Structure 1
């Protein structure tokens, strides 16, 4: 359990975005995955302040993913024999897809429309798929193949970067637009790869 938490407070709810400081990076990432699930449940709940929840979710998702790609994926790729270039690239593509779906949620004016419900459903489905796949193909092998010391050192580094990004408001719609545009330029959002 992270030693301290911070959150967004509104009249109706307190939103836990987490403030991990240290720990095994695998556990910290999985804790955030469970946080994504809780925040998405709140985002679907009409009794919540869904605008505050979507802003908090955006900060956590972007901070988590950016810190993961910057710091965690490169180390796990080097240290875990069962985490290869394809796994990392696929994880980055799924982050890009999730960020693109998040942008659609952020750009909607209100939170009580069918368009909002549909956008949240798409976001939820993409995040659920990514979380399951990442835990199986990257985090599972990394737990078995990367030393506890490396995972713990990486946990502190990742947590610090994640929290710094959240504190900077990394989920702001303009920043998410910039991240999605960069992913498009890098070919991470190639529609021809979609299976539907």
Structure 2
């Protein structure tokens, strides 16, 4: 399993894609009964929350201002982040990482996350590639990486924080 690494500086599209591949590897590790599932899940929670929160605060608004994506796409992506956070919390709250319940909740998280990655790569990142300048993508990449790192350093993947995010999504 790759360790949590700070996001590289550069093109925001490439940085986000690197995180997406990391998420896929983490899901593969979580499916492996011989892996340290608790540790992998803790790392996944940290990077997933930091990634989504940094997208919502730094990337989506900028892409919206540049007319690369519209308000509906932003709302849809944020809704999918909320669904992913809920599935993540459900998995984090399973006590036994070798139980059938863990496997079931892992499947639900995997489905939600895989669906979101696919849609985001097609409907958000492709327009970012074609409708946003290289300079803007690099500026966004630096902002995304800095926010992602700040959130990771703050312990954003704790179960308490994930609960707070899920509760906030349900009340808004």
Q: TM-score, normalised by structure 1?
A: 0.86
Aligned to 1:161: 147
Equivalent residues, number: 172
Partner in structure 1 of residue 81 of structure 2: 95
Alignment correspondent of 2:114: 128
Note the C-alpha offset of 1:145.
Answer: 0.3
Alpha-carbon deviation of 1:169? Answer: 1.2
* Pairing of 1:18-167 with structure 2 (within 5 A): 18-81=5-68, 83-167=69-153
- Deviation per residue, 1:39-63 (Å, 9 max, x gap): 0100111111000000000001000
Q: Which one has more relative contact order, counting CA pairs under 8 Å at least 6 apart?
A: 2
User: CA–CA distance in 1 between the matches of 2:19 and 2:67?
Assistant: 21
Runs of at least 5 residues in structure 1 that lack an aligned partner in the other structure: 1-13, 187-196
Normalized per residue, which structure has more helix? 2
Given the two structures, how large is their TM-score scaled by the length of structure 2? 0.97
Q: Which runs of 5+ in 2 are unaligned?
A: none
Per-residue CA distance 1:107-138 (angstroms, 9 max, x = gap):
11120000000000000010000000011111
- Native 8 Å contact 2:2 2:22 kept in 1: no
Runs ≥4 residues deviating over 6 A: none
User: How many Å apart are 1:18 and its aligned residue?
Assistant: 2.1
What is the deviation of 1:21? 3.5
RMSD: 0.9
